[in-house]
């Protein structure tokens, strides 16, 4: 191996071949002249930019034949940003809060349903083991701030939304059952009729307080479809008003 420094004037580097340093040797090998201009070499992701005229292509000072640290840092930063952007674009869009809440609600619903040994029409009951209101299973819906009937949620999970003019009837007459095969959407009047197959409630001519049930004195409950006595409703309203007034007076006194 040749000893000494590079024969090119002003080059202090050690000669490695043909009495030339590495940079000048490459110039002579490629361009045929040790003083020919060597273009910038860009190595892509690593961001290595080399030049021997004291500056890189972006104007950063750099030692001849060495890598520009500033350009390398910028290249790496750009690469990382592009990689993060690509990963973010490939990521699936987040579900809306309503969808996530409904999925969690259905998970709670299924965790509290058990298959019973008793059957109806050849299929077992799927009974709700959580809270109930008047014998009907309910589950708390935090997003809406109210309870939802379990059998209605079970029907909607399989068949979609229930029309506004229909309600869900238990064909098996087990109100805690949420088996979809045991449920059927019917009108409110049909549901009331099925709940009173003998027509005992329908045939009554007076309410429990003795008021006559006629067209003028009877109204239909919009939620249940049942008959309500208008006189009794007014009496209930007066009693509630008097009780509220008495409570308020005692609190002031």
The answer on 252 and 190 residing in a single domain is no
Range of the domain at 159: 97-200
Domain limit, last residue, from 58, 74, 90: 90
145 lies in some domain: yes
pLDDT at position 171: 92
Domain co-membership, 136 together with 190: yes
SS (H, E, C) the chain: CCCCECCCCCCCCECCECCECHHHHHHHHHHCCCCCCCCCEECHHHCCEECCCCECCCCCECCCCCECHHHHHHHHHHHHHHHHHHHHHHCCCCCCHHHHHHHHHHHHHHHCEEEEEEEECCEEEEEECCCEECCEEEEEECCCCEEEEHHHHHHHHHHCCCCCCCEEEECCCCCCECCHHHEEEECHHHHHHHHCCCCHHHHCCECCCCCECCCCCEEECCCCCCEEEHHHHHHHHHHHHHHHHHHHHHHHC
The number of distinct structural domains making up the chain is 3
Question: What pLDDT is stored for residue 106 in this prediction?
Answer: 84
Residue 27 is assigned to a structural domain of this protein? no
Q: Say yes or no: 196 and 226 in one domain.
A: no
Question: What pLDDT score was predicted for residue 136?
Answer: 93
The answer to whether residues 82 and 115 belong to one domain is no
Q: Is residue 134 part of a domain?
A: yes
**Residue 21 included in any domain:** no
Task: Examine residue 135 and state whether it is found in any structural domain, yes or no.
Answer: yes
Spans in the chain with pLDDT lower than 50: 1, 39-52
pLDDT tens-place string over residues 147-195: 999 999 999 888 889 998 899 999 999 999 999 999 999 988 888 788 7
| pLDDT of the residue at 228 | 86
């Amino acid at each position: 191996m040749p000893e000494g420094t590079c024969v090119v004037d002003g080059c202090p580097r050690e000669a490695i071949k043909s009495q030339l340093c590495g940079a000048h040797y490459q110039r002579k090998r490629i361009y045929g002249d040790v003083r020919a201009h060597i273009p910038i070499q860009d190595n892509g992701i690593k961001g290595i930019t080399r030049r021997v005229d004291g500056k890189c292509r972006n104007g950063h000072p750099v030692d001849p034949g060495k890598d520009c640290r500033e350009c390398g840092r910028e290249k790496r930063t750009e690469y990382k940003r592009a990689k993060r952007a690509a990963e973010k674009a490939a990521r699936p869009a987040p579900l809306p809060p309503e969808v996530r809440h409904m999925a969690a609600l259905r998970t709670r619903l299924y965790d509290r349903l058990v298959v019973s040994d008793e059957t109806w029409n050849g299929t077992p009951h799927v009974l709700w083991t959580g809270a109930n209101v008047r014998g009907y299973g309910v589950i708390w819906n935090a997003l809406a701030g109210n309870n939802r009937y379990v059998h209605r949620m079970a029907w909607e999970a399989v068949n979609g939304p229930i029309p506004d003019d229909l309600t869900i009837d238990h064909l098996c007459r087990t109100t805690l059952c949420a088996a979809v095969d045991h449920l059927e959407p019917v009108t409110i009047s049909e549901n009331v009729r099925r709940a009173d197959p003998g027509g005992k409630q329908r045939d009554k001519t007076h309410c429990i307080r003795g008021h006559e049930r006629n067209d003028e004195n009877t109204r239909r409950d919009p939620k249940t479809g049942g008959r309500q006595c208008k006189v009794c409703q007014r009496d209930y309203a007066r009693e509630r008003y008097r009780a509220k007034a008495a409570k308020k007076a005692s609190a002031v006194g």
